[in-house]
Amino acid sequence: MSGLFQDDQPLPDAPIPEGPGLFGDAPVAAPDPARSDPARSETAAYRVLARKYRPTTFADLIGQDVMVRTLRNAFALDRVAHAFMLTGVRGVGKTTTARLIARALNCIGPDGAGGPTIDPCGVCPNCVAILADRHPDVQEMDAASRTGVDDVREIIEATRFRPMQARTKVFIIDEVHMLSRSAFNALLKTLEEPPPTVKFIFATTEIRKVPVTVLSRCMRFDLRRISAAELAALFARVAAAEQVEAADEALMLIARAADGSARDGLSLLDQAIAQAPAGGRIEADGVADMLGLGYRDTIFDAMDAAMGGQTAALLTLTDAAHSRGTDLGVLLQDLLELTHTLTRLKTVPELRHGRELPEAERTRGAAMADRLSMATLARTWQMLLKGIGEVEAAPDRRAAAEMVLIRLCYVAELPTPGDLVRKLTTEGATSAPPPARGAMRAVAGGGTVAMAQPLAIAQPLAIAQPVAVVQPLAIAQPDAAPRITSFREAVALASAREPMLHAHLRHSVHLVRFSPGVIELRQQPEAPRDLAARFAALLLDATGMRWTIALSAAPGEATLDTQGAEADTARRNTAAEHPLVRAILETFPGAVIAQLTDRRADAFGIVAEPPSMLEPDGPDFAPLDAEFVEEMEP
C-alpha cells in the first residue's frame, strides 16, 4: 500500500545511500534524471527537422535574396518601417522571417551595447529569449483562432506601454487575412501611427483577402517559392548534418514534391529517413514509393489510353486505382494537370531540358506532347474541366468520372476539325457552287464551319450537339426622323416603342396595300379594335408626317410572322442542299440544322425587296370600300 508510510523509495531530497542496505539488500537505484527533471526530458525529446533546422539568421534563409537585401539596406540606413507584410505559400519562411526581424530590432550584442542590426548576435538575452519564443516584448498571435475585434483591442492596449526589457515591442500576427472586418478597422489607426517603440509584422498566405487599407500601411515582401535545386541543396546539407546518406535523385524527388516549401520538404525528408533501413541510404525508389509516384505512371497510362480511344484499358486502370482507394474525381484533376503540362511542353520545348519538371514529365511527357496536336490538347482540357464539375455535382462520383473518361475516349477517335474539312472538301465539297450572296455559317456544337468564301473550321465539332447554321443579323438603326419605305419598316418602329402593338402587327395583320403616308390593312379578329389608330399615332410621332391607316376586307399578304417562317424554311432547304453541309450531316448521324439566318434578311427574317420593286413616291388613295380611320393627334 502506498501512502505516507511508504519507505521503499527515498524522499526527493534524501541522500542516495551507497553500498548495500542495512539488512544486506541491494542499494536503492538512483532515479532517472530524465524522468525526474522535466526540462531535461524535454531536451532529450526528438525535434523534427523542420524545427531543428529552422533558420536562425538571415544568411540561413534560402531563396529570398531580394527581401534580405532590402532589409539589410533598411537597417543600414535606419529606415526600418513600422509595419511589415510577409506573404507567400506555406513553408517559405514567413514566421521565421518575422522572428528574425524581431531579433534584429532588439539585439544588444554580446557586450550589451549594440544597436539594431541585420546580423543579430544570437547570444544576448534578447536574442536567446526571442529564439526560445519566451520574450515578453515579442508577442505572436494566430489570427486563425483569434479573429475578433476584442483580440485586436488587447494588442492596441498593449501598445500603450513601453517595452519591459527590449528596445522595441514587436507584434507578430500570423494568417492575418483571417481577421474579421471589424478587427481590421480597429487596427487601422494604431497601424498608421503606432508608438515609436512598437513594430507590427503580419504574415499571410492569402494576400488578396487583406484589405487594401492595411496593405497601404505596410512594407510588403512577397516571399517566393524556393526552387527545386535550392531545396535539394538544403536537404543535402541537412542529411549530412544528420549523418544520413541520400542519393541525389532521391533528394530531388523530395524537393519537387515540396512544391517550393522548405518546411514541407524537411517533413518529407524526415519521413524518408524514418522509412530507410537503419543506417541505410535513402534511395530514389524508396522515396518514389513513399510519395506515391507510382500513381504518376497510372496518370500517364490513363492519358495514353484515353488519347488512343482504348476504353477497356482505361476502365481497367480506373478499377485498379479505385481499389487502391483513389478518388476518381482526383484522378480527373490529375489528368487535367497533365494536359496543362503537355501543352506547356508543346509550346515551350525548352522545358524538356530544365530541372523544374519531374523526370517523367521531361521524358514520357515530352514524347506524348509531340504525338498530340494542340487542338486535341485544347479539346481534352475543355472536356476534363467540364467533367470535373459534373463529378462534383453527381451522386456517384465514380460513375460520373468513368462517364467522362469514356466520353474522352470516343472523342479522341474523331478527326480534328482541320482533317475533317480537308476530307470533306477532297470528296467533292470544293467543286460545289459558291454560296449565295449573304454567306452563312454552320455551327456544330462548340465549332464553326465558315461558309463565306474559303471553307474552314475554327473550333472542334461535337456530335453530341446539333449542327446549327447561324449568320449575323444586320438591322439598320433608325435615324432621328426615319423615312419609311415599306410596311416592315413601319412595323419595326413599333418594336421598341410599343411591344404589344408590334406583336399584333406582326401576327394579326395582313398588308393589303402600302405607299408612303397610306397603309391598307386587314385585321384578324383577335387584333385590338384601336390598332389602326394607335399605329397611325406611332407613325406620326416617329416620322413627323400624318399617316392614313385604312382597314380593308381584301385578303392581302400573309402576316409578317408567316412570311418569316416561310423564308426560314426555304433557307433551310437551300442550306441542306449545300455539298459541305450535306457531307457534315452524313458524317454525324442525327445532326440537324438548328438555326439559320440570312445577312440580307431584316428583323422579321424576310429578305428586303430591291428598291426598284418599291412603288414610286407620291399620293395614293385607299379603295372606295375602305374604312377610314382618323389619325390621332400627338
Per-residue pLDDT of 205-227, as tens digits, reads: 999 999 999 999 999 999 988 88
Domain 49-222 has CATH 3.40.50.300: yes
Asked if the model's pLDDT at residue 293 lies above 60, the reply is yes
Contact 409, 311 (CB under 8 A): yes
Measure the CA–CA gap between 95 and 204, rounded to whole angstroms: 9
**Number of Cβ within a 10 Å radius of residue 363:** 12
Give, for 482, the enclosing helix (H) or strand (E): none
Global confidence as pTM: 0.55
Provide, rounded to the nearest whole percent, the portion of the chain with pLDDT above 90.
25
**Which sequence spans correspond to the domains of the chain?**
49-222, 228-290, 294-412, 435-634
Cell numbers placing 599: 445577312
pLDDT tier, 170 (very low <50, low <70, confident <90, very high otherwise): very high
SS (H, E, C) 315-369: HHHHHHHHHCCCCHHHHHHHHHHHHHHHHHHHHCHHHHHCCCCCHHHHHHHHHHH
Contacts of the segment 265-273: beta carbons below 8 A, 24+ positions apart: 265/91, 265/231, 265/234, 265/235, 266/48, 266/49, 266/50, 266/53, 266/235, 266/238, 267/48, 267/49, 267/50, 269/49, 269/235, 269/238, 269/239, 270/48, 270/49, 270/50, 272/246, 273/239, 273/242, 273/244
Q: What is the pLDDT of residue 30?
A: 44
Please give the full DSSP string across 24-68, using - where no structure is assigned: SPPPPPPPPHHHH-HHHHHHHS---HHHHT---SGGG--S-HHHH
pLDDT tier, 627 (very low <50, low <70, confident <90, very high otherwise): low
Asked if the model's pLDDT at residue 464 lies above 70, the reply is no
List, for residues 359-410, the tens digit of each pLDDT value.
Answer: 677 778 888 888 888 888 999 999 999 999 999 999 999 999 999 999 999 8
Measure the CA–CA gap between 190 and 218, rounded to whole angstroms: 12
Q: What is the pLDDT of residue 355?
A: 65
Contact 85, 56 (CB under 8 A): no
Asked if the model's pLDDT at residue 155 lies above 50, the reply is yes
CATH class for the domain made up of 294-412:
mainly alpha
From the candidate CATH numbers 3.40.1180.10, 2.40.50.70, 1.10.287.110, 1.10.8.60, the one assigned to the domain spanning 228-290? 1.10.8.60
R_g (Cα) of the chain, nearest Å: 41
